[in-house]
Amino acid sequence: MVDHDEAMARLRDSDPATGSHPDLNALRSLVAGKAPASQGTDHVTAVHDDLMRGPSLRAPWIAAAAVAALGFGGGGYALGAAGGGETPIVSASSTEDDSRDDGTDSGTAGESAPLGDDGAAATAMPGVDAMGSDEKSMAGGSGAMFDMGPVRLQAGPGLSAERGTAPVRALTTDEDPAAFLAAWAERIDFQGVAPQPESEGAGWYGEHVLIEVDTMRVLSVSTAGGALQLSYEDQLRSPYCTDMYEGMSAEDLATMKEEFARAMGPDIPFPDQAECQPPDGALPTTEQAVAAAKDFFASTGLDVSDYTLQASEYQDPGVNYVMVEGWPEGQRGGELMINASVGPDGVYSAWGAVGEMTSLGDYPVISAVEAVERYGQRAFAVEYTVTLAEDLAAQSGPTDSLTMPVPEYDPPESGPLAPGDPLPLLMADKVVTDAELTSGTMWTSSGSVEVPAWKLVTDDGAHYSVLALTDESIKWVDWRQ
């Protein structure tokens, strides 16, 4: 299955941080956003269990590659591990009580983007259990996120059968990734070498990456997803460094070393567990963490002056760092995000995406009646969904921001089948009473694209989105090539 949920699209497919420690919060966010639209109670997405076996998730230099293979993307989830200077940014007298306040930088205090379509899947909010069953946790999202079973849409009277045109925009950047990486490394006096994988498929990183051999710090840059995406990671200072070795058998360790050698080449030695230097010291306050993150992103040479920076709403109590997130004005929860994890010694991991939406011109679009018919096709209802701007805004706002009524259902009674009985298959037929041509975001193999979409409103107040481009404006590419 190909996922195009906006909560994931902002963090995937450019691979600048492949090879990083997966941050638990970011992974929870991505998993929450990866759930497909409901197509029935028996619809599941298969994940090959080979990705979850052996040493591949036990070492920081392999874990991210396996996560990326799941479709979570390259640098987006990697928010942990980039060491700062030797001088702690907080004093030993700081306490945990004053380190979890809601300090912000140019933003509403205490406000934070949720971490997935089901906010409670990533953070425990008041009144929301671990599975996010509280209705308020379902802010935003199309009707398929609220439906307890499969749905068929039918066009009601009065829907337009006329076609038209609408604009399409793509995420782009003018930055050259190789030049940016070289300038960034020089600016922070980063003495790194490029990995030399033994074959094209053996590498764990994108094309533009530097690794500092003595410290195992990593800089990586990519423009594969449209925007400039960058990642910085200090793997030996990561709080997860030691954990990656624990419980590993001698056989697994040997396999990991072989994979490392194939991916890195002869110039980068395999790190030993004794080299891990997990952060030790008082947890920074949110104000200190935001300030450290701001200084770090300034060191990249990027202008992020219009980005709002604040501590993330979710903070993992089991680790000694504070997560900071940022976004451009008016684009909270969108494609262009910056993130940093800040420990006692400063930033030890950071990731960012910077760019702009560029017009590709006006494209022909289908009618509202055709959109209802198209929703019945799996390719558009499941594989290539569009996230509407209003749903994304609700996901990124207060947890009680709902874009439609939350339905209440009584499941139908069920019983044993008798010979000759028809098979009971759950299906709800809904009538589309209104339709609006609007815009939304979807993911393509060329990056994030803002596309025209039909918002189909049904008789129960729910709405469903479907791509509005005509068939002539779509090129189906066989993924097996």
pLDDT tens digits, one per residue of 123-134: 222 232 333 333
Nearest CA to 354 among 339, 365, 368, 338?
338
What would the two tokens of residue 132 be?
């996010």
Mean pLDDT (whole number) for 268-273:
87
What would the two tokens of residue 350 be?
């950071």
User: What is the helix, strand, coil percentage profile of the chain, to 5?
Assistant: 25, 25, 50
Beta bridge partners of 400: none
Cβ count near 165 (within 10 Å)? 14
Rounded Cα distance, 74 and 19, in Å: 9
- Considering the entire predicted model, what is its pTM? 0.62
What is the structure's pLDDT at 330? 74
Rounded Cα distance, 365 and 375, in Å: 15
Rounded Cα distance, 354 and 224, in Å: 12
Alpha helices (H) along 10-147: 24-34, 60-67
Q: Which domains does the chain have, with CATH numbers?
A: 13-107+174-357 (no CATH), 138-171+361-410+419-473 (2.40.128)
Higher-confidence residue of 142 and 238: namely: 238
**Confidence band (pLDDT; 50, 70, 90) for 406?**
low
| Cβ 228 vs Cβ 16: under 8 Å | no
Q: Which strand (E) or helix (H) includes residue 251? A: helix 250-264
| Cβ 173 vs Cβ 227: under 8 Å | yes
| Cβ 139 vs Cβ 400: under 8 Å | yes
Residue range 336-383, pLDDT digits in tens: 889 999 999 889 899 998 888 899 999 999 999 999 999 999 999 999
Q: Which strand (E) or helix (H) includes residue 179? A: helix 177-187
What would the two tokens of residue 108 be?
């509403």
Task: Compute the half-sphere exposure of residue 20: CA atoms within 13 Å on the CB side of its CA.
Answer: 37
Nearest CA to 155 among 367, 409, 471?
367
Identify the sign of the CA torsion 405, 406, 410, 412.
Answer: positive
| Cβ 214 vs Cβ 333: under 8 Å | no
What is the structure's pLDDT at 116? 31
> CB burial class (10 A; 0-12, 13-18, 19+) of residue 448?
buried
Residue range 15-64, pLDDT digits in tens: 333 333 333 333 433 443 333 344 443 333 333 333 333 333 334 444 43
Residue range 393-404, pLDDT digits in tens: 555 544 444 555
What is the structure's pLDDT at 198? 77
Residue 255 dihedral angles phi and psi, to the nearest 5°: -65, -40
Q: Which strand (E) or helix (H) includes residue 153? A: strand 151-155
**Confidence band (pLDDT; 50, 70, 90) for 84?**
very low
Lowest mean pLDDT among 153-167, 179-193, 321-335: 321-335
Q: What mean pLDDT is reported for the chain?
A: 72
Nearest CA to 380 among 391, 390, 370?
370
DSSP string, 180-212: HHHHHHHHTT---B----SSTTT-SS-SEEEEE
Torsion of CA 131, 19, 302, 289, to 10 degrees: 50
**Confidence band (pLDDT; 50, 70, 90) for 407?**
low
DSSP-assigned letter for residue 36: P
